[in-house]
Each structure stands twice: as C-alpha cells, then as structure tokens.
Structure 1
Amino acid sequence: MTIKMRSLYTSIITIACFSSSISFSSEIPTIPDAKFVVPEKREFQLNKSISPCNNFFEYVCSNEIKDFKLPESKNRYIFSINDASERIKKQRFEYINSLLNESNLSAQNKMIKNYYSSCMNEKSRKTEELLLIEEYKKEIVNLSKQELLEKFAQESLTGNSNLISINEFNNRNNPKIKDILFYYHLRLGSKDYYSDENLMKDYHDLMIQFFDLISMSSLKNETSFLIDFEKSIAKVYPSKAEFRNIFTSNISIKREKLLSNYPNLYFKTMLNKIPNNINVNLVTKDVIKQINVLFQKVSIKELQALAIWNRFSMQDIKYSYPEFYIKNKDFQNKYFGSSKIEESLELQCTVDTSQILERNLDIEVLNKYYKNFPENRVKSIVHQIQKTTLENVEKNTWLSKEAKSKAELKIKKIRFQLVKPDNLEDWDLIETTELNPDSFIKNKRKIADNDFNKMLKEIKLPVNDLKWQMSPLTVNAYYNPTANQFVMPLGILQAPFFDETKSDIINFGSVGMVVAHEIGHSIDDQGSKYDELGKLNPWMNKEDLKLFNKKTFKIINLFAKDGIDGKLTLGENIADFVGVKNAFQSAFPNKTSENKEEQKEFFIQFAKVWCGVLQPKVREYFIKNDPHSPIDLRVNNQMKLSEKFEETFSCKKGDPMTLPNEERISLW
C-alpha cells in the first residue's frame, strides 16, 4: 500500500522498490550513464540451463540480468518499469528543450521553460541558496521560544512544512467530503534505523559538519538534542506494518482537543486557516503528544538548531555547501544504498521539472507523442478480468451471505479509468504562475505554496472522485478505496506490461495481472473496510475476518520463511496471488484447455514484468520500508502458490517451485 496524503490508494508497485535474488550479496556492475542505452524492446531469452520448477525468476530473468550493467546514477533497475520511465524521461527532455528557444509560448509552457531554466542555472542557485540560508539564520536568532514554536506552525501553512505537514484527506464516513490531515514524517523513514548505533553516530557527525559549514558552530552542542528528538519520536512512531491499519481506523480529533492537548505545536495558528466545519485528523496522536512534551522543555538554542536542520539539511545546499552535500550523499549511500553518482544536470532538471510540474508537462508530452494508442484492447482485457473476479466471488463458499453480496456489488461498481483522463478538470493541473528563470528555490516554494492555498480554497468543495492521483505518464497503476476507482495510466501500458505484438492471452499474464491485482485490493483485508461507494463501512463480519485471516496466514508464513515481513507485505502478496489466479482464468476460461505452450507464455510474461536488479544495500532498505515483496519473491512465491503453474510446467511435488496443497490457499 502506498500512502499519498491527498488520497489513500494501493498501487501495483512502489516505484523505488525492486529486488533480485541474483543480487542479494554482490554489487551490480555499472556503466556511465552516457553509455547506457534503453533497447526498443528486451528479448528476455530464457535460461534453459535452469529448470522453471527450480527457480522461475532465474529461468526467465537471469540471461537478461547476466550482461546488464546498471547506469551509474541508479541503484536499482527493473526492466519493465525503468525502461518505460527512461523513454518517457527522454520525451519530456525533448519537449522541454523544444521550448527553450521559443518566446511566444502559452502561460503553461512558459512556466515549464522558466522552471527548467532556473534549475539549470547553477550560478544563480548557489547565490540563492546562500542568501536564503543567511536570511533564515538572521530571522530565527531574533525570535523568542514562543515565536519560534509558532513559526513551525506558520511554515506548515506554506506547503513547505518544517515539522507538521497538512494535507486534504477524504472523509471516511462520507468520501465526497474533504477533511484535513495533520502528520509528521520521520526523517529517516523507518523507526528501525534509530536503533542502529553506527548509523546514529554517522548521522550525528553529519549534523556537526552541517552547523560548522553554515557558520553556526554555536549550535553544535545542540546536535545531541536533535538525535534524541528524532529517536524519542521513533520510539512511538508506527511501524510500516502498523501503518496499514491507521488509515482505516478513527483518526479524527476535535479542534478543542488539538488546542488543549498539544499547546506547544500552535495548532491554533494552523486551524485559523481551516474552515470551522472541516473535520480534522491526526496521524498519530502518540507522535504528536511526544513532540508536544519535547517542546515543553526545549531551549531556544535547541529550537534554532531544529529549525535550521529541518529546513536546509536535506535540500537547498547543493551549490552553497558542496562539502556537506557530498558527505550527505555518502551517508545515504552507506546506509540506504543510494547512488553517489548523479545524472547529467539536464536530466536532473528534467526529473525535477517532471516532479514539480508533472501533469502540466505530461499533458503536452502526451499530446505530442501518443496519438493512436489501442485503448479498446486494454478495455477488453479489463472487462474480462472484472467478469472473472465477479464469477469467482459468486462461487465463494466461505464468506457470509451478506459479505458475499457486498463484495459482488463492490466489484460491479468499480469505476475503471484507463490511459488518460477524459476531462481537463480530472488532470488536476497546477495553476499557471509567473516563474523567474533565475530563482529555482523560490520557484519551487512558490508552486508548493500556490498548491497548498488552492487546496485550502477548495477544501469546502465536494471531492472530485474522477480526479487522477497519478499523471497519465506514470509507470504504475492504483486502486483508490475511497472512490472505488481503478486507474491505469498510459505510462505503464508499454511492453512487457502491455505488448501490442502479443496476443491478448499473453497480455493477460502482465497487464491482466495488474488489473486483477488492483481489483483484488477492493476486497482484501483493507478494501473490505470500504463499501461500494468508498465509505468506511466494513462488510466482513468477525467470522468472515477470522476465516480470511486463517487462510491468509499461510501467505504471511510463506514470505516470512524468506526473511520478509509477511504482515507488512500481506496486502500486496494477496493482491499478487489473486492477480495471477484471476488473470490465468481470464486467459484460459476453458478448464480443459491443452494449449500448454500458451499457458507457459502466460507465466513467462508475468515473470518478465518483475525482472530486474538492485544493489544489495537497497534491498535491505526496501525490505524495511516497502509493502511489496522483493521482485524475485513476487515471482517465485506466487508460482509456488499456483497449482496451474505446477501443472503447466509439469513440476513434481517437492520441486522448489511447488508447495504441498495444504500450504496453498483459496480465496476467490
């Protein structure tokens, strides 16, 4: 499950999370970015020296992986995702560059041009960084403790939060209404890192160097407070597995409770900007309580250190303090596996422009490069997957009558939105604004501020549940339970996810699996808490859930044997299981089919989707943080669970890619 604070949705992948059993312990060889070429199409020659019944991932992927060299700027590469992403990045780059020498541009294209130009202007960026840091230092040293605490609250209202972030959040009782959500992001991502003594020591050293470089050595003594501050919050911060249930529980809080229980966070300043009739939510109360307690006894020096560290340590220091920037990259590489090498500035700025102005850029790119996409073929596959899923739920024998009826209704009511939005309104474009080609940081903050103000301005308006939470050129897909909506952008509909040269039967193994995966989320342990209208209204009773949990415990146990947190990854592993099963049944509705070669191609196409590599340290990072299992296990463990795979490849009981029947599950 991926959390996007403007909505809650489950996606087929977390873009950054890719793993490979081939690369658990050895470094992947690299190649300079300039020499790396994305092939028009990968062949995925099968490794006939490996039995598919012994290791299906290696049978399909190892030949492609064997000669692959990772671009130096990357620490992971999954072929289906990254090949498509690289092609789209090139198209974005070409489009942006076509604007640079043009003067008579639309307001939208002028905004894109100026943002990119400001990113490319290294000299101006250095000057701007130094000036902003100096201005911020002067500002906070003249504030009292109370004024500094209030400043944190004021910054939360700019879209550039320094402590507490604010976003809109669909009301769980009426998904047509917008709430407000307050939340705090743990700076290192996972609470587990705060118990690593070596990491904490290096993190502390990083802080000391930061304050030395920005000429605030007087705050070096406060770095111990910064470490203790984050470690204290980490102790009460939810684990990644616990986050699965937070957003389906009651996290709303009365305004008077916010004000009375957490006075040191100055929620009054934030609430003054939020209409009184808007419901507010808190993630999580223990975290906010802990921050409030720490702020009760914090000194002015400690607050100054926190304000500066939070504002500048991870951003806006690339050109002004390159020594710290490099040391920070070394730290990120050592503990999280990120690459020390960067892409060319042109591509960095293409990515940055894409991130900040994604939809505004992609609506132009899509119109230029994607004219005749075979949308009807995709719609046909989606329709068949929906039909198969519904038929299987109708045949279910263990759900209560009421739950079964609700599941059927929910599947019938799913809204499918494919390829690109039908209406301009549903693109959710950023409002065009004047940007300065010499002010990169101010441009970025201006856009964030405008977007935040737009959110507050529209908070009283009904939710537009046709609005896309991803740009159409995102290489991903998602299911949004609060709208009972499945979105599959054009970005993911490239080979091998969708291969126009293959039959629909083979494409069921890839794009069909994606569709079945996301529909599966609508009725899993989390999806079953929402009704067909997207309202938080659980429809499995206690006995249903007891049976569901008993069945799915086998999946938890299977992945736990491979060192994976089966509880964290449960939702995605269930969706993969349902995805493979229902996609296969859609491709081969005739149970007596003897076309073994097509069936083999189906499973091979599925495995191709997850072929890839990553550096070993990255795998460690994502096992701690990602709700999706490593890609080798997304292939091999799902093959173990599949009787059809065993039959198709004539595997014998006891082969590595098989399980005893009692260790397999049936759901729907």
Structure 2
Amino acid sequence: MKHVVILFLTLFILASCTNSTKSDKKLIEITGVDATLTPGDDFYRFANGKWYDSVSIPASQAGVGAYMFMNYPQRMRLQGILDSVSRGEHPKGSIEQKVGDFYASGMDTATINKRGYEPIKPTLASIDAITDVTSLMTFVANQIKVNNSSIMAFGVGPDDKNSSMNIAHAYQTGLGLPDRDYYFKSDSSVVAIQDAYKTYLTTLFQLTGSSAATAKEDAETVYEIDKQLADSHRTRVERRDVIANYNMMAITDLKNTQPNIGWAKFLEQLDAQTDSIDIGQPAYYDKLNTLLKSTPINAWKLYLKANTIETYASDLSQPFVDAAFDFTKVISGQAVQKLRGEIMASAVDNYLGEALGQLYVKKYFPERAKERMLDLVNNIQKAYAVRIDKLEWMSDSTKIKAKEKLSAMTKKIGYPDKWKDYDNVQISRDTYFENIVSAAAASYERELAKLGKPVDRSEWYTTPSTVTAYNNPSANEIVFPAGILQSPYFDNDADDALNYGGIGMVIGHEITHTFDDQGAQYDKDGNVKDWWTKDDYAKFKSRIQQVIDQYSTFTVLDSLHIKGDMTVGENTADIAGIAVAYDAFKMTKQGQDSTKVGEFTPDQRFFLSIARIWKVKMKDEFLRLWINNNPHSPPVWRVNGPLMNSTPFYNAFDVKPEDKMFLSKEDRITIW
C-alpha cells in the first residue's frame, strides 16, 4: 500500500508541475561558452571562460559578475531612483521626502567636509568624562541605542526553544579585524592586514588631535585590548553548533558570575525589561568581565574612542573616509573608492531600506513576476517531498516529520506584505550625520519594542532591493527579495531550463538549509528540538561529514583550501539544491524534451544556467578574505563542487572517467 501511495503522489506532482509551466517563454541564447575546454574538466571555466578572460574588475570594486557583485549594478538602479526623488518636492514625512532628503544630505559633501569630525565631538567628550567601570558601561549602553556598539552586542529576536516569542540576546563582539583568527596568524598576508589596521587606528587618532607618536602608542593599546577579546571568541566553525550557542541565563545569576559588567543596570539603561538573556558565547563575556577590572580605565577610554571614530569614519569628512578606505583596500584589493552616489545608495538602503524598497518594487518588480516565482517555489517544494520519500537511508517515521516540516515552510517573495514605519525618523537635507543617528535610534526602538512580545512572522530581515535570498530556521521560512529576481537568476519570460537552473537552484538551496547541519536541529515550528530517530540522525551526520571531507580537498588560491567544516551548510545546500531543482525541471514540458535550443539540449541549458548565476571574477585579496570569513564556497566551487556529485550532469555533458571532475558513483554525495 505504501508504494501505491508514493506512486500516486509522484504522478500527482508530475501533473501539477507540468500543468503550471508556461509554454510561451522566450528562448534566450547562451553565449560566452569556451568550447575549447572539456566540460568535465572544469565546468565553471567551460561555461564562463570567455567572459572571465575578457572582463575587467572596475577599480572601485573588489570583484565583478553575478551573486554579491550584482549589488554594484543594483546600486546604480537605486541611485537612479534616488537622484530622481531627491530633486522633487514631496510632502513632509512622506517616504519620498525622507528617502530623497537623506540621499541629498549624504551627497552634500561640501557641508560634510566643512564639519570635519564635529558631529562626534560630543560622543568623544562623553568618553573623556568616564571615570570608572560603571560610567564606562553607562556610555556603552547609551551608544548601543544609536548603533554605536563596542564591547557589548545586544539584540532582540526569537527564542530558539520557543520560536513564537522574542527574547534578549547577547553575542561576542569587540573586534576591529574581520575575525578572531586575524589576531593570531603570522603569514605575510595576515600580518599586512594587522599592520594596516594599526596604521588605520593611528591615523584616526591623529585626525582627532593626537600627535603622531601618541597616536601610534594609543593604537597599540587598542590593538592589545582587541587581541585579548579575540582570544575568547569562538571560531566560525564553533559558532555553527546550535546547541552550544544557546545559553539562557538569569540576570540574577549573572550578577554573581560577571559582576563587573553589571547586567541588571546595563539592561535597565537599554530600557530592556527582562529577567533573562540568551548569551551566545559566554566565554567572551567572562573575559570581558575580567578585562573590565584588570585593564586601566584610560586604556578602555582609548578603545572606546577608536571604536567610535571607526564606526563613523565613512560618515565624516574626506580625511576620515580616506583613512577607512586605505584599510579596506588592503583587505579587499579594491583599487579606488566608490563614487559618492553608489555609497549613498547603499546608505539609504541600510537606514531606510523598506522605504526605498517601496520605490524600487514599484518601478522594477511586476506582480506577474511574483506569481511566476511562487509557481517555481511550489514546484520545487513538491519535488523535494518526492526526494524525501525516495531516501534509502531515512526511516519512514523521520520522513513523515521531514515532510511535515517541508509542508509547514513559509514562502516570502519580492517584498513584505506590511512595510516598516519610519514616522519617528527625522530627516533633513543638511544634517547627514544627524539623519544617520535618527534612523539608527528608530531602528533600536523598533527592535526593543519586540522584547517579550510574540514574534511577527511577517517581518523581513533584508531589504527588497538586496540581491540575496535566505532561510530563517526559527521561523521555518524561505525569503526571496525582489533584488535577486532578475537575470541571470530569474527572467519571467525565459524558458524553464534557465529559470530552474538559475533561481530554481537558489530555491532548492534555501529549502535545503531547513535540513542542513544547523537547520535540521529545528522542528517545523522553528524550535530547536530533536525530531529525528537516533539512527537516522547518525546516518545524516555521516553524510554531512562526507561533504566536509570532500570540500576540504578543493584548492582555491595557491595552497589555500576551502574550509570544509565552516562551509558545510552552504555546500550541503548547493548539492541538494541542484538535485531538487533538476527533479522539478524534469517535471516540466521542456524538461521532458530533448530538442536542442541552439547548440544545447534542455538539460545542458539547465546546468549552464547554474554556472551563469555564479559567474564571478574577484581580486585575490578579496578571495582570500572570502575563504577566511565567508560560509559559502567561492563561486567556482559552487558550480564544480555540487556538479561533481550530480549524475544528471555527467549524462548531460558525457563526463568520462578521465575528466578531472569525475567521481565514481559510490563517491558522489547524496544527502537529500
């Protein structure tokens, strides 16, 4: 009886997916393929080689192409909107007025340069007035309210074990370099970044009045505090442990274990009414508690000054902007500064993102694209259910739980149903710095208002114009903003091969995060809860280890390898995302056909589309930064890695044992 039910379900899904496919799609020609290469040796280069060898990275960017570098042309779109809206007259308090005036205030570099660092002098004076740890913590709390965080990282969000309620959270923080490991490595590339950071700190102190000698000495003091804090940080791999990074603690207990922090008073000054807090990484706060007592107060004051100037450097006069860029240049390899319009497009998106998002969606995102995208998501979700049913390693009882979780998933596409309110943000055309502070304060108040309240499942955690997609395990939701719903990911008028290989792969990827090494620990309601049988979970973990082991062998730059244990979640999502997108594609009319479109079959177009969405060229410095900090594999391995494990890819391009990407069937990884 069980097999009959599964067969019926498969036939039903096949029919529903096929019927939903439009037949009037344009067939886009695929160009840029380097036919001199063998697809099975390096498919990324085969698909993108001509483009890669001919494209130049703009001097103002660290890379060019798709994925995160699509935000560059996207910012040009936003800048066009902002240029237009900032020139018009709009009712005071309207989103057009606030967005336009914010942009105009940031474009007024003459006024910004004239003010120098005048806007932060009151904050620096407040630091000078600190006399002890108590007044230091008061300063820290007050600055969190305007997004100038330093040694304490406070936020409000869902409780991992009761996802319907918002609670207070604290995380490790306090570093000026990208990650803890930068303070302890001694290879030349990292030492160069350490030196550049110290130079940056020295320059910031000089720009605010210190002599060269004093500034250099003060920079060393700040760096040493940074390094001591870094020593307590968990690594990026350790932070993947969901259970270890959930530590609910009573404020009364923290009074005894971390008395120097003064949690009760600190939370009171934040206006945060709570008797408990989830501390993600307790060792950091243990170390901070010790350092607050052992480090001289004057050293802490230097640290807070450096942190404040760093926070606002890019919002002050040109010398501060230049200093910040000199440091960025060493880390990323970016040759010249971005144009002011591009910088301001990002700033408006950061501070007034859903206000700008309304203008963006109105101009660039038609409702019919949302409908088509929902079809794709539904079809891939159905195909995923079939894959779960076919898993040989999973028991029937766990399959039922997995499909319940899959079915309960919330799908958000394009833009929020309910927009954020910016009524309490005060924006003027001639006070850029104050505009930033007002927007930051409003954001904090919005966050604080959620504390102790039920979670609003309609809330978005990215702006509609951002080129991204995400999975939120505590809400069991997948989110696809309007920003990513454009070529090469999605084209409402393109054929199914391109859309299923493009945005379809991304949809499958985001669904899989529900079932990766972290997401698999959350139940269908978004709570951290064990829904597996013990034997099934052991089998699942063994497959996760296969992904870690395989990707750890991939070389990226010189002898630099992918960090398999840091990127395992994203790699798992890539492998399964492609597999389920292909299954869904095969349920469409085009997917069941073998007629060539130009030079390529539908299956070949599907896989070429995958390679196109990760078409990226970047500076070596940025690639090195990526490998050390980004949980995603570099683009070349987001293509070649999962395709090495895809038997349909082998069939589509006749991959042979002598080809470099070839793996024997028993070595190809299948998780979902």
| Structure 1 residues 54-69: aligned runs within 5 Å | 54-69=41-56
Q: Is the 8 A contact 1:129 1:316 kept in 2?
A: no
Correspondence for 1:295: 292
Correspondence for 2:652: 648
Structure 1 position 499, deviation (Å)? 2.4
Matched, 1:134 2:121: yes
What is the RMSD computed on CA atoms of the aligned residues?
Answer: 2.4
SS in 1 for 2:206: helix
**Higher relative contact order (Cα pairs below 8 Å, separated by 6+ residues):** 1
Which of 197, 202, 212 is matched with 2:206 structurally? 212
Matched, 1:96 2:91: no
Structure 1 position 369, deviation (Å)? 3.5
SS in 2 for 1:316: helix
Which residues of structure 1 form unaligned runs of 5+? 1-40
Q: Cα 1:534–1:659, aligned 2, differ >3 Å: closer, same or farther?
A: same
Which of 118, 123, 128 is matched with 2:105 structurally? 118
Q: Cα 1:440–1:276, aligned 2, differ >3 Å: closer, same or farther?
A: closer
Q: Is the 8 A contact 1:52 1:649 kept in 2?
A: yes
Correspondence for 1:184: 172
Correspondence for 1:168: 156
Which of 465, 469, 480 is matched with 1:488 structurally? 480
Which of 334, 338, 341 is matched with 1:343 structurally? 338
Give me the TM-score of the superposition, normalised by structure 1: 0.88
| Structure 1 residues 649-664: aligned runs within 5 Å | 649-664=653-668
Structure 1 position 264, deviation (Å)? 2.5
Correspondence for 2:250: 254
Structure 1 position 269, deviation (Å)? 2.9
Structure 1 position 249, deviation (Å)? 4.3
- Single out whichever of 282-291 and 192-201 deviates more from structure 2: 192-201
| Structure 1 residues 557-572: aligned runs within 5 Å | 557-562=549-554, 563-572=561-570
SS in 2 for 1:405: helix
Determine the C-alpha separation between the residues in 1 that align with 2:522 and 2:471.
12
CA offset digits 1:433-458 (Å, max 9, x no partner): 32222221121111111211222233
Which of 479, 497, 508 is matched with 2:471 structurally? 479
Structure 1 position 585, deviation (Å)? 1.3
Q: Is the 8 A contact 1:169 1:181 kept in 2?
A: yes
Structure 1 position 372, deviation (Å)? 4.8
Structure 1 position 157, deviation (Å)? 3.5
Correspondence for 2:59: 72
Matched, 1:385 2:380: yes
Structure 1 position 59, deviation (Å)? 0.6
Query: Which amino acid letter does the alignment assign opposite residue 367 of structure 1?
Result: K
- Single out whichever of 150-159 and 608-617 deviates more from structure 2: 150-159
Give me the TM-score of the superposition, normalised by structure 2: 0.87
Matched, 1:241 2:237: yes
Q: Is the 8 A contact 1:175 1:482 kept in 2?
A: yes
Q: Is the 8 A contact 1:554 1:664 kept in 2?
A: no
Determine the C-alpha separation between the residues in 2 that align with 1:523 and 1:318.
41
SS in 2 for 1:315: helix
- Single out whichever of 105-114 and 70-79 deviates more from structure 2: 105-114
Correspondence for 1:402: 397
Correspondence for 2:365: 370
SS in 1 for 2:617: strand
Determine the C-alpha separation between the residues in 1 that align with 2:230 and 2:455.
34
Matched, 1:193 2:163: no
Determine the C-alpha separation between the residues in 1 that align with 2:344 and 2:221.
36
Correspondence for 1:24: none
Structure 1 position 58, deviation (Å)? 0.5
Correspondence for 2:303: 306
Which of 402, 410, 428 is matched with 2:420 structurally? 428
Determine the C-alpha separation between the residues in 1 that align with 2:651 and 2:167.
50
Query: Which amino acid letter does the alignment assign opposite residue 354 of structure 1?
Result: D
Q: Is the 8 A contact 1:208 1:223 kept in 2?
A: yes
Determine the C-alpha separation between the residues in 1 that align with 2:641 and 2:382.
26
Q: Is the 8 A contact 1:57 1:607 kept in 2?
A: yes
SS in 1 for 2:312: coil
| Structure 1 residues 221-620: aligned runs within 5 Å | 221-246=217-242, 249-272=245-268, 273-274=270-271, 276-277=273-274, 279-316=276-313, 320=317, 322=319, 325-334=321-330, 336-421=331-416, 423-424=417-418, 427-562=419-554, 563-589=561-587, 597-620=601-624
Q: Cα 1:177–1:247, aligned 2, differ >3 Å: closer, same or farther?
A: same
Correspondence for 1:13: none
Determine the C-alpha separation between the residues in 1 that align with 2:202 and 2:58.
33
CA offset digits 1:77-129 (Å, max 9, x no partner): 2335544x345423322222223333342512221122112211223223444
SS in 1 for 2:164: coil
Determine the C-alpha separation between the residues in 2 that align with 1:104 and 1:151.
38
Determine the C-alpha separation between the residues in 2 that align with 1:277 and 1:352.
32
Structure 1 position 225, deviation (Å)? 2.8
Q: Cα 1:249–1:542, aligned 2, differ >3 Å: closer, same or farther?
A: farther
Determine the C-alpha separation between the residues in 2 that align with 1:500 and 1:320.
44
- The size of the alignment, in residue pairs, is 622
SS in 1 for 2:291: helix
Q: Cα 1:128–1:43, aligned 2, differ >3 Å: closer, same or farther?
A: farther
SS in 1 for 2:241: helix
Percent identical: 23
Structure 1 position 317, deviation (Å)? 6.1
Q: Cα 1:215–1:106, aligned 2, differ >3 Å: closer, same or farther?
A: closer
